[in-house]
Amino acid sequence: MGACDRCLAAGALAGTLGITRLHPKVQPQQLAVIGLLGTAIGLAAASLVPAVPVAAALFAVAGACDGLVLTATLRIRADHSPPQWRTQVFTIGAGLKISAAAAGSALAGVATVGTAHWYLPGIALMQATGALVYALVRNDRSSSAHGQDPAASPLATSPESPSPASPQ
């Protein structure tokens, strides 16, 4: 699996550099969904092939798509973070990502009975679930913008409501 890990990392680097160079006309949110689905498909396909070279190539594809997700995430954070809190938003976001990865690694290490090969479909499912959750949340917000009461959305916030970081 070491070769596959290296291919995933190289693919992520290539995906990040490539998308930065291409300047796509797609919104960052759409780019994240495309990346999540591409990562899911690459990892799910890698779980089905017995040959390591083919699996490594699929890991590189999954990594390239993961690079899209990283780039889109950073763009969204930069676009939507208030300037005075931008550093905190980036730091907390990175901390949550690293903590989730560490927790997932710990759980996988404890639960490992066979090979990591059997975990790939589960990881792919989590990636696809992320894209689905975004689509559901996006549809909820779209319906709010088209005549429904925006306060009815559980994700809606008003400009007057205090932020979690501001004193009460």
Segment 78-95 mean pLDDT? 90
Those residues whose C-beta lies under 8 Å from the C-beta of residue 1, and which sit 6 or more positions away, are 115, 116
Question: Going by C-beta distance under 8 Å and a sequence separation of 6 or more, which residues neighbour residue 67?
Answer: 11, 12, 13, 14, 15, 16, 17, 18, 19, 35
Helices 28-48 and 120-145: angle between axes, nearest 10 degrees: 160
Question: Among 75-84, 107-116, 129-138, where is mean pLDDT lowest?
Answer: 107-116
Q: 23 falls in which pLDDT band (50, 70, 90)? A: confident
Residue 164 has pLDDT above 70, yes or no: no
CA distance 85 to 64: 30
**Quick one: how many helices (H) and strands (E) in the chain?**
5, 0
User: 71 near 22, Cβ under 8 Å?
Assistant: no
Residue 146 has a pLDDT of 54
The Cα 4–Cα 61 span in angstroms is 11
What does residue 87 show for φ and ψ, rounded to 5 degrees? -60, -45
CB 54 within 8 A of CB 102: no
What is the model's pTM? Answer: 0.73
CB 71 within 8 A of CB 14: no
